[in-house]
Amino acid sequence: MSSSVRKKQRRQERHDRNKRKDESYKKEAWDNGKLIEENHNNKPYSSSYSIELGTRLYNIMKDIKEKSAQFEEGKRNDYVVFRFRAYRKKIQDYILHYDPSTPKTEAYETLKSLLETYWDEPEKMVEKI
């Protein structure tokens, strides 16, 4: 076997190993609750990913609302807006790449409404969640 053939073979083995490691890392991270982006090549998300991501983001927003209850009335909305900003881009991508063949869920409608409220009337964020 020539050296160039061995090099190609080693490169291919390294590529396959790194690809397996990346896939296993992403699967484990998703299972642990991280919001891993699906490789969608600028097309809509898959149906199952659309539903799962919407549910996770919806639950995160519900948790933010529950945690905001510990603040006094004046600071409650500020907390919600501050925490929402961390997920705003993810929610925006979710709305834009939602699978059109999948029926819109309550999570989708709520997240879309929250995003619109954030843009138009951020002082009413607590009421919308």
Do 19 and 82 belong together in one domain? no
Do 103 and 52 belong together in one domain? yes
Do 55 and 105 belong together in one domain? yes
Do 54 and 117 belong together in one domain? yes
- 9-45 pLDDT tens trace: 999 999 999 999 999 998 898 888 888 888 788 889 9
Q: Which of 58-62, 104-108, 121-125 has the lowest mean pLDDT?
A: 121-125
- One DSSP character per residue, the chain reads --HHHHHHHHHHHHHHHHHHHHHHHHHHHHHTT--PPP--TTSPPPHHHHHHHHHHHHHHHHHHHHHHTTS-HHHHHHHHHHHHHHHHHHHHHHHHH--TTSPPPHHHHHHHHHHHHHHH-GGGHHHH-
Do 76 and 22 belong together in one domain? no
Q: What is the pLDDT of residue 31?
A: 86
Q: Does the model's pTM come out above 0.75?
A: yes
**Structural domain that includes position 121:** 42-129
Residue 86 domain flag: yes
Residue 46 domain flag: yes
Do 84 and 52 belong together in one domain? yes
Residue 37 domain flag: no
Do 58 and 102 belong together in one domain? yes
Do 20 and 48 belong together in one domain? no
Q: What is the pLDDT of residue 63?
A: 93
